Structure formats: structure tokens, C-alpha cells
Amino acid sequence: MLAQARRINRLSIMALLSCLACTVRAAEPLDTFSARIGGYVTTFDTEVRADGETQSGTDIDLDRDLGLDDDAVIAYVGLTWRPWDRHEFGLSYHGNGTDETRVLSRDIEFDGNVYEASATVRAEFDVKAYEAYYVWWAASDETWALGPRAGLVWYSVDMKIDLELDAQGEQAGGTVSGRVSADLPAPTIGAAWRWSPAEDWRISADAGYFSAEINDMDADVIFGRAGVEWFPWDRVGFSVDYVISSIKVDAMKTSFDGHLDFVDSGIRLGAVYRF
């Protein structure tokens, strides 16, 4: 009777240890499909120079010179799809627009127009970012995956400066207005990493760089992202990550001839659905 009780105790302990092992087993590092939506607390640090037909424009800091707010909370959406074990595709989108009326503290030249110090101008800046990427998960285990990553962030940028009052305070009547728009592809080549250190948790990181002269643009691009995901439910969870994308480009296009130094960075908070 005593031996039987000891046997039952041993079996009970083994079963308990087995259950505990199942409980602490990390979630899989990769999803077949995921969709996320959330808010992006972003900062756009931007300097632009729009040249005229005969001479170069002024290097303009959008925040310092035009008062355009570079901090915003915007929405973003994203999708990932892994149709095969080692091949993953992703898409995401976010956009931001801002405008401001400002008295200039210095002379600036933009798109062939001269705006004198003490003049009142209305500036508008709008940017939309479309991201696509591909990862080949070359190495993976039960709790981690690592592979090369090729990405592209396509920025659609539009900027306008209207003169409202000249330096003497006279109405300009819309006689002076400059506008530039450009589609700026920002490709990167780098690596992606996923790790599930514990049940319901996942850590991820992506990084990439690219420098090249393509057609009428000479660009340097840097991209980085690091984040944490928590899944209190099997298919639904939450994510927080920090993202930075930097592009420096000299362009000679019909719609934009000049230089753009653009940094898009911030923290994204979102809800995730996966399977």
C-alpha cells in the first residue's frame, strides 16, 4: 500500500513537472499571418532645399524656419504573410500632414521664389510612407529565427509655401507661391531577427542600409526597428516598437530639384491579430 502511494506521488510529480514545462514553453517566433493597427508617436526631422531654374534654394529647417510641428500622433496599419516556412512578406502604411502660418526671421528662397525676412508665409508639409519588405528566414529554431531582409519605404512628399503678407505688411494676394512634390523610394538591405524568450512574449529587430545613385537621385538610406510583443491570448496581443528611417537625397526631377534630409522616427503602439 505504501509502495503504491509512493508510485502515485512520483507519477503526480512527473505530471506536474510536465505541465510546468508546457506552461513555460516559448511561443513560436514566426506567424503565418498577422495584422496590426495602432498609433505612431512620431517625429519628423526635416531639412529641404528646393532649387529654382537658375539658382539653388535655401536650406530650410521645417521646424525652426517655418514653425511646422515635427511631433505628431498618427495611425498606422501593417500586415505580414508567410506563405512558405522560410519566406515572409510585409506591408505597412502611415501618413502625416501639418501646416503653419509664420513670420520669417530670415530670407529664404524656395522653388525659385524669394521670401524676405519679416514676411508672413503659410507653409504646408504632407508625407505618406508605404513600406514593403521580404525576409528569407535562413536560420531558425523553436524559439528564434534569423535571416536577410530586403525592404523598401516609398515616401510621397508634398510641400508648399504661400506668401500672405510681404515684408512691409502688404497683402500678397497669392502672387508668390512655391510648391514641390516628390516620390522618394528608400530601399534597404539588411537582416531580421525574431526571438521568443518566454511564453506569450516575442522580441524582434530589423535593420538595413542602402546607398546608391539611381536615375536622377543620389540617396543614402538607413532603417532600424526594435520591438516587443505580448500575447495574453492565443491570437490577439499588443506590440510596442521603436522605428527610425533616415533618407538623404539629392534629386534632379521635374517635380523636385534639390536636397532633402528627412528622418522619420518614433514609438508605435498597436494591437495585433495573428495565426
Strand boundaries in the chain, DSSP class E: 33-50, 60-61, 71-84, 87-103, 108-110, 113-115, 120-136, 139-140, 144-165, 177-195, 201-214, 217-230, 236-252, 257-274
Q: Does pLDDT of 26 surpass 60?
A: no
What tens digit of pLDDT does each residue of 141-176 get?
999 999 999 999 999 999 999 999 999 988 887 789
> Which pLDDT value is given to residue 254?
67
Asked whether the CA dihedral 31, 34, 40, 43 is positive or negative, the reply is: positive
What tens digit of pLDDT does each residue of 180-217 get?
998 888 899 999 999 999 989 999 999 999 998 877 77
14-28, 86-100, 185-199: range with lowest mean pLDDT:
14-28
Q: Tell me, what DSSP letter sits at residue 122?
A: E
Task: Indicate the SS3 state at residue 87.
Answer: strand
Q: Is the pLDDT higher at 71 or at 93?
A: 93
Which residue from 76, 83, 201 is spatially nearest to 134, judged by alpha carbons? 83
d(CA 90, CA 193) in angstroms, rounded, equals 14
> Which pLDDT value is given to residue 17?
41
Radius of gyration of the chain (CA): 26
What tens digit of pLDDT does each residue of 35-52 get?
999 999 998 889 999 998
- Per CATH, the number for 29-274 is 2.40.128.90
d(CA 195, CA 87) in angstroms, rounded, equals 17
What tens digit of pLDDT does each residue of 108-143 get?
999 999 999 999 999 999 999 999 999 999 999 999
What tens digit of pLDDT does each residue of 221-264 get?
999 999 999 999 999 999 999 999 999 998 887 678 889 999 99
Domain map (residue ranges) of the chain: 29-274
Grid cell of 233 as nine digits: 491570448
For the chain, give the mean pLDDT. 88
